Structure 1
Amino acid sequence: MSFFTLITQDDPPVHSESNPVIDSRVAHDIDGPILPGLPDDVAKYCLALVPRRYLPAMGSVCKKWRSFLKSQEFITVRKLAGLLEEWLYVLTMDSEGKESHWVVLDRLGHERQLLPPMPGPTMAGFGVVVVNEKLLVMAGYSVIDGTGTASADVYEYDCCLNRLF
């Protein structure tokens, strides 16, 4: 089946909770192969070979790719391919001590990227831990109008998609 055939098919609509009626072509995308024409195991290996800096863009291609990029299987395939990269996440502060941001360094200490800013008010005294390839920033306190307030917030950074949740 060609791409053109998928576009021109007149299938009945598929219903979903997020959108009352989605065209069934979207359903084909979710249930279809990761890369048309390739077995999924080969396609997964191909996706795992893509350099890490392109992973956020790849996560926007389709739900199937994003789901694979967020899976433990993706980490395993990259590890088997010898492509796991060790990066160091460093929280830096400006010279006045007002603005902070996370910087990602590679093994040699070269800056690779900046992380998106953490949502919410400025925080201090928080804990950081890595669990299942995710960087978690939690607790601490936030300073609003000069007053420190305990925080129960937890932010998760997904390094594959370069997003804070």
Structure 2
Amino acid sequence: MEIIPGLPDDISRECLLRVSLTSHYKLACVCKTWKEIVYNPIFYQDRKRFGLSQELIILPCWGGKTKKGCRIKLYDPLERSCETLPPFPPEFPYFSGCFNCVPFNHKLFVMGLLSDSPEFTNHKALIIYDFSSGTWNRGLDLPDCRVDFCCSVDSAKGLLYIAGGCNSDEDEDYDDGLRTAAVYDVEEEKWEYLPPMIWSEYKCHSVFTDDKFYVMSHVEGHIQAYDPNTRQWSAISTCYEGSMQPSFAAFGRIYYDCDGEIIEWDYVDNQFRLAGTLVPQLYRFIGGVMWNQQILMVGFNTENAMAFYLFEPSIPREGGKEDNWTLISTLSATELPDPVATIGALTFSG
């Protein structure tokens, strides 16, 4: 059967590859042949191979003070287009600002949701959005209940790491945080506890890079790294004290915001340096991501619009804080009426 009647299959397939990521589930509804194409992982590999994959920014939004009507929005800074994923399953009408999500392959993993249903334990459920089918599916619950934790993915091995946080919003020992960490095997759908961390952490941030899981402190100014090969944690000293988040990896370095200064850490040589300072217009910094082979910084400006800046790491020139920042796009409060949970910026490539 021809993919598209009257066209050679190679051209027909390229036409399907060019369809927007958020419309792939519509392709799967057309016919059995299209469904088989979209559901095949090779489809997404070909999108990347031919330079057709989209780099989108994930924006989790909630519906005001009630936290109902939660949505995940995907924003393209170049096209200035914003699309909304289907609503969460009805069992999960809420999420707290403490939830977490991470993309892997053509799926989005969301954790830390609040539920009205007695079937689910709050802050423990894992749900997964599949871009191929356009549906949310239930994953295996987290091994324990936690909020304000960090989460990163080892894309090469399909492993999802979580660490730190606290047991609930009402946890009496909230300030102490948790030392527990765990890893989720996406293919086998199995959680496994890791050895306890060196320090307890909450509201921490993390990066998986260089085959290690790095957890960045919220207030103490330290880093701890987990090596999956040795199953051991190691402590890393820094020369900067203060909050170390949000953090992200780019070009063989880890970057993080330390009280308005962008610190670049060469984790191979364990060298730290000042790479820039936040522009005055960016009064609330959400995070940075690798986007189209560049560093994209995301935050809110003084007019309460979401702003997207390209950032070029360099030693800031004296008296010129904006030399390495280039504004490329903004989303006004009118264009993005729902409050955005400040969990850090994420990119989705698919």
Common fold: TM-score over 0.5: yes
Residue type at the aligned position of 2:63: D
Q: Residues 90 and 109 from structure 1, CA distance in 2 versus in 1: closer, same or farther, beyond 3 angstroms?
A: farther
How far off is 1:61 after superposition?
A: 0.6
- Cα distance in 2, alignment partners of residues 48 and 63 from structure 1: 17
Report the count of equivalent residues.
Answer: 131
Structure 1 residues 34-61: Cα deviation after superposition (integer angstroms, max 9, x where no partner): 3356554443223213344543321211
TM-score by length of 1: 0.62
For structure 2, which runs of at least 5 residues remain unmatched after alignment?
Answer: 138-350
Of 47, 51, 54, 1:82 maps to 51
Of 14, 24, 29, 1:45 maps to 14
CA RMSD of aligned residues (A): 2.9
**1:130 pairs with 2:100:** no
Whether the aligned pair in 1 keeps the contact of 2:95 and 2:113 (CA below 8 Å) is: yes
- Note the 1:75-154 alignment, pairs <5 A: 75-99=44-68, 100-108=70-78, 110-119=80-89, 120-121=91-92, 122-124=94-96, 125-138=98-111, 140=112, 142-144=114-116, 149-150=121-122, 152-154=124-126
How far off is 1:77 after superposition?
A: 2.1
SS at the partner of 2:35? helix
Q: Residues 152 and 34 from structure 1, CA distance in 2 versus in 1: closer, same or farther, beyond 3 angstroms?
A: farther
Name the structure where helix makes up a greater proportion of residues. Answer: 1
- Cα distance in 2, alignment partners of residues 93 and 141 from structure 1: 12
- Cα distance in 2, alignment partners of residues 110 and 56 from structure 1: 22
- Cα distance in 1, alignment partners of residues 65 and 108 from structure 2: 26
- Cα distance in 1, alignment partners of residues 62 and 44 from structure 2: 31
Q: Residues 150 and 132 from structure 1, CA distance in 2 versus in 1: closer, same or farther, beyond 3 angstroms?
A: same
SS at the partner of 1:149? coil
Residue type at the aligned position of 2:19: V
**1:62 pairs with 2:35:** no
- Cα distance in 1, alignment partners of residues 76 and 24 from structure 2: 16
How far off is 1:107 after superposition?
A: 2.8
Residue type at the aligned position of 2:42: E
- Cα distance in 1, alignment partners of residues 64 and 82 from structure 2: 21
TM-score by length of 2: 0.32
Q: Residues 141 and 116 from structure 1, CA distance in 2 versus in 1: closer, same or farther, beyond 3 angstroms?
A: closer
Whether the aligned pair in 1 keeps the contact of 2:110 and 2:127 (CA below 8 Å) is: yes
**Percentage of pairs with the same residue:** 29
How far off is 1:33 after superposition?
A: 4.2
Q: Residues 143 and 82 from structure 1, CA distance in 2 versus in 1: closer, same or farther, beyond 3 angstroms?
A: closer
